[in-house]
Each structure stands twice: as C-alpha cells, then as structure tokens.
Amino acid sequence: MRFRPHRYLSFFVISLCSWPLFAEPIKVAEPKSTQMAAVAMPDLYSAKVAKQILFAGGNAVDAAVAAGFVLAVTYPEAGNLGGGGFMTLYTPTLQSDDTDTLAVQFLDYREKAPKAAFRDLYLDQDKQVIPYRSLVGYQASGVPGTVMGFWQAHQRFGSLPWQQLLQPAIEYAEQGFRVSQAIEDRAKWFQGWIVDKTTMPLNFMDYFGSLKANTLFKQPELALTLERIAKQGASDFYQGKTAQLLVDEMQAHNGLITLDDLNRYQAKWREPVVGEWLGRQVVSAPPPSSGGVAIVQLLKLKQLLAPQLQVALAQAKKDGIPEQVVKTHFYAELEKRVYADRAHFLGDPDFIKVPIKTLISSDYLKQRSQSILLDDISDSEKVRHGKLESPETTHFSIMDGQGNAVSNTYTLNMPFGSGVVIPGAGFLMNDEMDDFSKKPGVANVFGVVGGKANEIAPEKRMLSSMSPTILLKDGQLEMVVGTPGGSTIITSVFQTIVNVVEEGMSAQQAVDATRVHHQLLPVNQIAYNPELPEDVKDGLQMMGYHLKKNNYMGDVQIITHINGQWQAASDKRGVGVSDVFEVKSRE
C-alpha cells in the first residue's frame, strides 16, 4: 500500500419466573426422532416463544409468525404491526411439486406509498425539502405490510393454527413484559428527538411515556387489536375495526392513508436474488430491497480481486502496516461502488425495470472492479454507477428440525417510527416514506442518497437496505443471517458472511467482530463499531480517510453450520438471545 503523508488528511437480565405464562400449556406430540433446531432472536421474549413453537411441532414459519407478533409487543421501537419488512425462506420439506430445486422463497411485505402520495410531497414551493416531514407525524407513514406479510406466509407454509401463534403476543400485551434499561433509554431519547420536529402534537408519550426499567409494561389496547387479528386474520387490520381506527386517526390529522389504501394492500411473493459465490448460493432480498444485489456484488467483487488483495497484504506486512488497514480500505473501495449502483438502479420493480442479473453478473463486476485502487482512495465525486450493456429495524433467524429456515427483517424505520400511535389500537406507525428519494441527490435520515428510480409515486414500495439472507452449500442450508442498522445492514451482513466463510470465525466471533462501513458519501468517511486499534486508525487517517465511531452498527442474528455442527449467535451490540437445541420430529 502506498501512503501519501502530504494527505493527512444491558442487556437487562430477567428472571424466567417473571415472564407471563401462557393461558394453556402448548401440547407436544410424542417424539419420533431427535433433530437440531436453532433460533437467533433480538430479545429474550421472542427467543422463548420461537423455541416453544418449535417444541410444539411448529415449523420455522410458525415460529417466525409467533415471534414477529411478540416483538410488536416487547420490542416496540422496531417490532411492529404498523410497519413492514422482508422474509427470505428455505423450505425444502414444505414445498409443492412445482417449486424450484433450491426451495427458496422471498416475501415482500414492505410498506407502500398511499395513493395520495406524489413525487414532490415533501418539498416546499421553492422545491426544497421540508425538514422532518417524511420522518415525524401523520404524513410520514406508508401503508403497513407486517400483518399481511405474516398472514400470507402462514397461509402458504404454516402448520399450527393462526390463533395459537398469536396467543403469546396477546398475553404479553395483557399481562405485561418487564422493561429493559435499553428500551427505557431509547424511549427517552426518541421523545427528546421528536419534540421540535413537528408543530402537530403527537401522542407518543401518552402510550410510551411510562416505560421504566424493571417494571411491567402492559398494553391493553394492543392486546385487543391482537385478539381481533387472531380471530379475523389480516382482514381485521385491512378492512375491519383496526383499519377504521387507523384511518380515523390519519384523516383527523391530515394523514394520507385511506381505507382504500388498506383494502388494496397485498404482500408479494418475489423471486429472491441468488448469486454464486465460492461454491455456494447466496439467497437474499430482491428489489425493492437493495440488500441482495449489494451483498452479492460485494462478495463477488471481493472474490474477483482476491489475488490483488493478497499482494497488497504481503506488501503491507513488509512495510509494517497493520493488515486491518488494508482490508478496511479494500472494503471501502468495494462499498462506494455498490452504493453508487444502489442509488442509480434500484427501486420498486413494479414501477421500474431493475437489471438484477446484469448487476450481479461476472462481466459487469469485472468492469466495476477495474477502477478499484488498493494503494490509494478513489475520488468519491468521480465514482458513478456502472454502465449496462440503476438504524431502527429488527431481525431474527430461525431453523426448524426439518431444516426449513426463515430469515426475517422488519421495521418502523426510525426507533418508534413516526411517533404516532393509533388510539384504540395501541400500535405505532412507521415513517418509511423517508426511504423514498424526496429529491434526487438529497440524503435520507441514514445519509443514503437516492435517485429517480426511488422517487415517490402512489402505491410504490420504497427502497430498503434490509437484507435477510440464506446461504446454501451443495443445495443444503449453511447459514441464516441478517441484521438491523439502516444503511449499514448491507455491509454488516457482508462482513459477517466473510468472517465465517473466509476468516474461519465461530458464529459468535463473526457477529461480535469490529465492522466498518463506507457508503460513498460522506466523502472518504469510514464508520466503525465497536473499536479499531490505534495503529489502524493512524494508518487509515494517513491515507486520507475520516473516521467516525458509530454508536450503533447492527444487531446481527446468525445460525450457521461450521465443522459439522450448528452454531447460533446474537450480536453483543444488542440484547438478543440465541440457542441451538434438540426438537422431536413428528408424523
């Protein structure tokens, strides 16, 4: 590597006995044989429920649905009824005869723009962005997709009764869950953050102002909503009483969502992105997520440039330069090109043509790799998209005893979404409209710049970085992984995969390792978490990078097969719980 000196540029532990009990014990059938299952979940409540569903004979989709609704109660900053997300599935024992041999599925239950939305919705008369209108308040929300997504997943693959899967969430809402210090702290921060972001009063504090660590928090209105959804399915949320409560609140405060918007909403089964890498199939999220395309691009670019990287590492060793300096710079060079492609090409495929196969093709990526520098920093202002021949979320990973797996990421966007709670229904609304390009070249709350492909349009799904990912090797499940983290999701998943497959780390080592992030803009800025050694910082600064320590950079949840054994791990950055355990197979 050539240096240019002139360019100096709580977890709160909760006793099991404090958890609310189910009204009736779940009955478990007689075992036939023992098999391994695993969960990696963002909190202990969702982990407990996912395991109970698997012990009761449910499959990975059953466990995902039950855990997803529990998180809407116990993880209110990101778990949700009023948001949306993506689910990547591997379902070899749940397939019909006409499905593909990889047995991979992808469900898009991302929010959609209301019909009243339009391109310049968040611009003033001078065509300037109105600060925070797409983030806070009643015009910030897209049409929610979570309830429909879980419903459609269950309709296709579920085995246990729908009502049984919602019962744990209902009981946590009725009886309460014990609040962690982390949730109390996030709620206090959010209330302070939104206080001057809108002139219209919000009701967040009416519902979440009493969150206090080590106390039981009950949500009676949310319990009633969950009971209606348990009895009526998705129809309650999209056509029934819950729908009416949501629309009444929106229209009373100049919101955009109507009953027609809710009635028209459907989740969508899409073909996942599948990329070949080191003898594996990387199965991940297609547009309107940018995650799958970006992760496959990063992995394949790294593979293409592996010989050059080894030369640079050898030279750095001779020069006494820390190896981590070279690798961090290398990742930054890859990432700035991937984020340039993201901004130009990616958006809702129902509205624009997204050239997925070309973007992840070897020919295209060879072209992209030619300008990557291993001894200097590429000029970010000159890095553009290629030429064609376009931080609050939560994730969980689940594998059942039959080898079926779910990688699920869903979100409200910001912690606690738009700050709007639906009275009488008790759930928070998302602020996902901020994920559209409000104006080409203007960054969203995560600093990501968008283009025309992701501009606002009625019933369009906004671009996302959520990247629920599954790796298959020889057609068999090898890894289930994902994370929250806004624009850092892509780079966190990429580095975690590399840590396991190429660096030989255990699951826990892989998710706990320091991660670095570069997204084209701000120019030459590398974010990191939790820490970089001082000599690595010095080396990167001498190259001309500006360093920023992020307070948060993901909460990876992984299940992976290493040396003949399954491992599960939850990121030390969060409060998650993971486990590998035996379940009994049943006829």
pLDDT tens, residue by residue, 322-343: 999 999 999 999 999 999 999 8
25, 56 contact by CB (below 8 A): no
Lowest mean pLDDT across 111-125, 337-351, 374-388, 537-551: 374-388
pLDDT tens, residue by residue, 212-257: 999 999 999 999 999 999 999 999 999 999 999 999 999 999 999 9
- Domain-embedded: residue 152: yes
Q: What is the pLDDT at residue 510?
A: 98
Q: What is the pLDDT at residue 64?
A: 98
Which helix (H) or strand (E) segment holds residue 85: the answer is strand 84-90
Give 439's pLDDT tier (boundaries 50, 70, 90): confident
pLDDT tens, residue by residue, 440-478: 666 665 556 567 889 999 999 999 999 999 999 998 999
Tokens 């030369």 — which residue?
311
The enclosing domain of 213 has a CATH number of 3.60.20.40
Residue type, 129: V
What is the average per-residue pLDDT within 398-423? Answer: 97
Q: What is the pLDDT at residue 451?
A: 73
What is the average per-residue pLDDT within 131-160? Answer: 97
- Position 67 pLDDT exceeds 50: yes
Residue 3 neighbours by CB distance under 10 Å: 15
- Domain-embedded: residue 61: yes
Residue 482, strand partner residues: 557
What is the average per-residue pLDDT within 553-582? Answer: 97
Q: What is the DSSP string of 209-249?
A: TT--TTSEE--HHHHHHHHHHHHHTHHHHHHSHHHHHHHHH
| Domain of 153, in residue numbers | 31-271+391-585
- Domain-embedded: residue 374: no
CA gap 472, 558 in Å, rounded: 14
- Domain-embedded: residue 247: yes
- Position 484 pLDDT exceeds 70: yes
- Domain-embedded: residue 295: no
Rg (CA), the chain: 23
CA distances from 564 to 38, 279, 398, 485, 567 (A): 15, 17, 18, 31, 10
CA gap 467, 393 in Å, rounded: 11
Q: What is the pLDDT at residue 23?
A: 31
CA gap 194, 202 in Å, rounded: 9
Eight-state DSSP code of residue 377? -
Q: What is the pLDDT at residue 157?
A: 97
**Mean of the per-residue pLDDT values for the chain?**
90
Eight-state DSSP code of residue 374? S
Copy the structure tokens of residue 504. Answer: 């030989």
Q: Enter the pTM of the model.
A: 0.91
What b/e readout covers 325-364, taking b as 16+ CB neighbours within 10 angstroms?
A: bbbbbbbbbbbbbbbbbbbbbbbbbebbebbbeebbbeeb
Q: What is the pLDDT at residue 444?
A: 61
Terminal CA-CA length for the chain = 60
Q: What is the pLDDT at residue 12?
A: 28
Tokens 């990912």 — which residue?
469
Q: What is the pLDDT at residue 389?
A: 37
Taken in order 170, 175, 180, 184, the sign of the CA dihedral is: positive
- Position 18 pLDDT exceeds 50: no
- Domain-embedded: residue 79: yes
290, 348 contact by CB (below 8 A): no
- Position 96 pLDDT exceeds 70: no
CA gap 69, 131 in Å, rounded: 32
Q: What is the pLDDT at residue 248?
A: 98
Q: What is the pLDDT at residue 520?
A: 78
Q: Is 214 left (phi over 0), alpha (psi -120 to 50) or beta?
A: left
What is the average per-residue pLDDT within 26-37? Answer: 52
- Domain-embedded: residue 421: yes
- Domain-embedded: residue 359: no
CA gap 76, 190 in Å, rounded: 12
Q: In what order do the strands lie in the sheet with 33-41?
A: 268-270, 104-109, 84-90, 405-413, 392-399, 33-41, 577-585
Number of domains in the chain: 1
Collapse the DSSP code of 585 into the 3-class scheme (helix H, G, I; strand E, B; otherwise coil) and give the result. Answer: strand
pLDDT tens, residue by residue, 513-528: 999 999 878 889 999 9
What is the average per-residue pLDDT within 135-151? Answer: 97
Phi first, then psi: give them for residue 54, nearest 5 degrees: -70, -40
- Position 391 pLDDT exceeds 80: no
Catalogue the active-site residues. Answer: 393
Eight-state DSSP code of residue 435? G
Above pLDDT 70, what percent of the chain?
89
Q: What is the pLDDT at residue 489?
A: 96
